[in-house]
Amino acid sequence: MFKRKIPSKNIEGSTSSKRGTMTQIVLMALVVIFVRFLVEKLIPLFYERFELNFNDFIFKALSNYTLTISMVILDYVIVHFLIKKVNYGKSYFKRASKEFLYVLVLSFLSSIILKWTQFNDLEEIPVFFDRLLLFTWIVCILFNLVVIILFDLILYYKWVHETALKKEISEKNQADYQYQMLRSQLNPHFLFNSLNVLDYLILTNPEKASTYVKRLASIYRYMLQIESNPIVTLEEEMSFIKQYINLLNERFSTGVRFSLDITKRYSSKKIIPCTLQMMIENAVKHNIANASNILRINIFVKNDYFVVTNNIQPKLVSATSSGLGLKNIKEQYHLIFNKEIKIINNGKTFEVRIPIVN
């Protein structure tokens, strides 16, 4: 029954990812060309000014092991810091320009230390800002660029694999969640109760029975329509919830009372399909609902959350539950939106807070 469809935004995401990878390759190629240009131009200057082989100059510069190791560590810190601020999946030119700026500053400070510790013997009269400082600075820039490129390649490769793994887990959780949703609607108890209500209405109120069938059909239609949609608008979800509530009202009569207090300003906000329905289903499944013990379910907005609450009045014989539905919803909110669903149980009220997503 479940055939996986590839949403258009997934295709766009894949295209964007490929475009981002190409941008990374182009930037790295430009850095390599820049380094090669510097080396080719520097070699004659080193020989003319100091009668030093360029390789010997680099060796002498990097023979200060304490400083060299410190530069490597700071290069890693720079790359790791930028991952948190500007991820690989975002603005590549912004990231590259920041990286280069940090390299310039780090290299300049390192060149000052090197000039006075390693190259004093190359100058008869020490002058602070001279060609030697410039050459030392350039050597440090080359060294730090090579190290940062290596760190970038390693961490970018790790990021690509982690992103692909998260996407795979998200798709798996979505498929599991969709299966749980459909199974919860097709389970024998739901069908049995729905058909009992329908049978009663056919005998007592045929016109109402026809309306009930249409509402029941609209629920299954929605379930099938959202099969390939990991996200829907709140307006779509609330339209479905109202149909679901109407079915429950027919089944429980006055045993369940609902309060929906969500204004139209939130209609365009995003939500994972059937999230609210599953919260209502859990409340009905685990609590007594009759005229003597009214189950009150409230849905409203509070502090950037959609909140679903119900009073706790547990059934004498608790219903079996795998807990997979709520678990999958929590995992999807974490993977898709990087947000957490909050669950609060104070013994009298059960409350679920679902993050509002633009």
What the chain holds in terms of domains, given with CATH numbers, is 8-168 (no CATH), 187-355 (3.30.565)
What is the rounded radius of gyration, in angstroms, for the C-alpha atoms of the chain? 32
User: What whole-number distance in Å separates Cα of residue 147 and Cα of residue 70?
Assistant: 12
Write the single-letter amino acid at 52.
L
Q: Is 93 exposed, middle or buried (0-12, 13-18, 19+ CB in 10 A)?
A: exposed
Q: What 3-state DSSP class applies to 66?
A: helix
Contact of 311 with 296, CB cutoff 8 Å: yes
pLDDT tens digits, residue range 27-57? 666 766 766 666 666 666 656 665 555 566 6
**The predicted structure's pLDDT at residue 261:** 92
pLDDT tens digits, residue range 275-291? 888 888 888 888 998 88
**The predicted structure's pLDDT at residue 180:** 57
**The predicted structure's pLDDT at residue 353:** 94
**The predicted structure's pLDDT at residue 2:** 37
Contact of 177 with 332, CB cutoff 8 Å: yes
Q: How far is CA 192 from CA 195, 213, 222, in A?
A: 5, 14, 20
Q: What are the mean pLDDT values of the chain's consecutive 10-residue runs (358 residues total)?
A: 39 47 64 66 61 62 77 86 73 76 87 70 50 75 83 80 74 61 52 74 83 82 74 89 86 87 90 86 87 93 92 78 68 80 92 91
Phi and psi angles of residue 233, each rounded to the nearest 5 degrees, phi first: -80, 160
Element (H, E) at 355: strand 349-355
Strands 295-302 and 342-345: unpaired
User: What whole-number distance in Å separates Cα of residue 134 and Cα of residue 224?
Assistant: 68
Contact of 110 with 74, CB cutoff 8 Å: no
Question: Tokens 């919803």, residue?
Answer: 329
Question: Tokens 């969640």, residue?
Answer: 177
**The predicted structure's pLDDT at residue 348:** 92
